[in-house]
Amino acid sequence: ARLRARLGAVPPALVTIVSILLLNNVAVAAARALLPIYIERDLGMPPAFTSLLVSLETVMGGLISVIAGALADRLGHRLVLVIGILGFSAGLLQYLTGVPWLLVALAVVLGLAHGMRSTSGQSYLLTASSRQSVGVPTAAYFLGGTIGMSASSAVAGPVVDRFGFAAYALVGLGLNLVPAAITLRYLRDVRPERPAGGADRGTWNVLMRREVWLMGALRFASTAFWGIWSLALPLLMFRATASVLPPALLYGTVGMSLAAVSQFLIGHWSDRAGRTVPIYVVLGLQLVLALVAALAWQSTPVLMMTGIAGVVTGWTMSVLVLGVVRDRTAPLEHGRVVGFVHALWSFGILAGTVVAGTLIDIDPGLPLAIGALANLVSLAIAVVLLHGRRLPAPDAT
């Protein structure tokens, strides 16, 4: 009954932003998961080139994110979000060219788009929600994303197998116009009230706080694991089965579907109990998964099971980190802190993908073992951030 009451209290603005993210991901999300396969199978290039493209994308996303957050804080979220949505079309255009320098240029555009969409969308979510119920709306936000990814993967795998990557890209480009149009027409800007003097704390002062750096460090280390996982696991599945379908349908569709449910459950749990225990549980599970995969990567069933479980834990971690940001920042700081945390997310992805792309052909167990180490570091950071100043359950505040 309480869960239904929370759902009924979700503001229309949150329904709109979730719908926009879902539709955007339906159009573009599978492009990221299938990129290593496209590069290796169709273009005959090594995983290191995929790593280069993903690295450029993530660096540009990190560089733009604080600027995007400041723009969202100052000017509102809608314009920044529309630019980000349309910019995601660059990821689809990559499948229409095999020219290396064009692939690199499109990766730069895609990175800028990713930073702008993520920062504006997530800061919009925090501004439109309350601390007492941020977990469930955050889960709903990522739920829209994961459902969109699941649907995108379910469609993309068979389409690519039958018609090729170009057909998939053309369909996605057309679909991506829909969320951009909805954003312009229906998304209402939600802006916090500014102080009477019209001033707020400067960006430098906001970002130099110790706990902001700890939140960024937690995001970096846990995402480094995800960077390794999201490149290594689909590629190892493809190599083990010689088919696009297992990584697209099992890793993508099943993993994202389970992640959607898990995000909602962990958001509800963290709203009731606080973020601390859920963070420890998720990071502990990721540590175990990475160790198992590193020791038994030759087993296709192990790859399937750990791969799916890693998708689930990776996405639930996103809900928890964003909840911590909402708990510990003021409304006028949301865009900048979300932008900073997203920058560290980008650099974490960069570190993980470079590690995976460089080491997977030497020994597939090596990047997975480093993924386990990243989770151990994440647990240590979480203890420093949360121990001794345990966040109260939001219901108690």
Asked whether 249 and 154 are in contact (CB, 8 A), the reply is: yes
231 HSE (CA, 13 A, CB side): 34
Please check whether residue 300 lies inside any domain of the structure.
Answer: yes
What single-letter amino acid sits at 352?
Answer: G
Token reading at 44: 């005959």
Name the pTM for this structure: 0.75
The domain that holds 177 is classified in CATH as 1.20.1250.20
Please check whether residue 176 lies inside any domain of the structure.
Answer: yes
* Chain centroid offset of residue 41 CA: 26
Asked whether 233 and 251 are in contact (CB, 8 A), the reply is: yes
Q: Helix, strand or coil for residue 60?
A: helix
The rounded distance, in Å, linking the Cα atoms of 317 and 93 is 30
The rounded distance, in Å, linking the Cα atoms of 259 and 230 is 14
Asked whether 374 and 221 are in contact (CB, 8 A), the reply is: yes
Which residue segment(s) compose the domain that 309 sits in?
9-188+203-391
Token reading at 191: 């802006």
The rounded distance, in Å, linking the Cα atoms of 181 and 267 is 29
Please check whether residue 2 lies inside any domain of the structure.
Answer: no
Helices of type H across 95-209? 100-128, 135-163, 165-175, 177-186, 203-207
Q: What is the CB neighbour count within 10 angstroms for residue 143?
A: 24
Give residue 104's pLDDT: 94
Number of domains in the chain: 1
Length in residues, the chain:
397
Integer-rounded Cα Rg, in Å, for the chain is: 20
Asked whether 252 and 33 are in contact (CB, 8 A), the reply is: yes
Please check whether residue 312 lies inside any domain of the structure.
Answer: yes
Among positive and negative, which fits the CA dihedral 209, 213, 214, 216? positive
Please check whether residue 194 lies inside any domain of the structure.
Answer: no
- Cα separation values, 76 from 45, 62, 127, 129, Å: 42, 20, 11, 16
Give me the residue label for tokens 């290191």.
Answer: 48
What single-letter amino acid sits at 325?
Answer: V
Please check whether residue 180 lies inside any domain of the structure.
Answer: yes
| Per-residue tens of pLDDT for the chain, all 397 residues | 555 555 555 677 788 888 999 999 999 988 887 888 888 888 888 888 887 887 788 788 888 988 888 888 777 788 889 999 999 999 999 999 888 899 999 999 999 998 899 888 888 888 777 655 677 787 788 777 777 877 888 888 888 888 888 999 999 999 999 999 999 888 887 665 555 555 556 777 777 888 889 999 999 999 999 989 888 888 887 777 766 666 656 666 677 778 778 888 888 888 888 888 999 999 999 999 999 988 888 787 888 888 888 888 988 888 898 888 888 777 777 778 888 988 898 888 888 888 888 888 888 889 999 999 999 999 999 999 887 454 443 443 3
Token reading at 143: 């739920």
Please check whether residue 396 lies inside any domain of the structure.
Answer: no
Give residue 201's pLDDT: 61
DSSP character at residue 99: -
Please check whether residue 349 lies inside any domain of the structure.
Answer: yes
Token reading at 75: 């000017």
388: left (phi over 0), alpha (psi -120 to 50) or beta: left
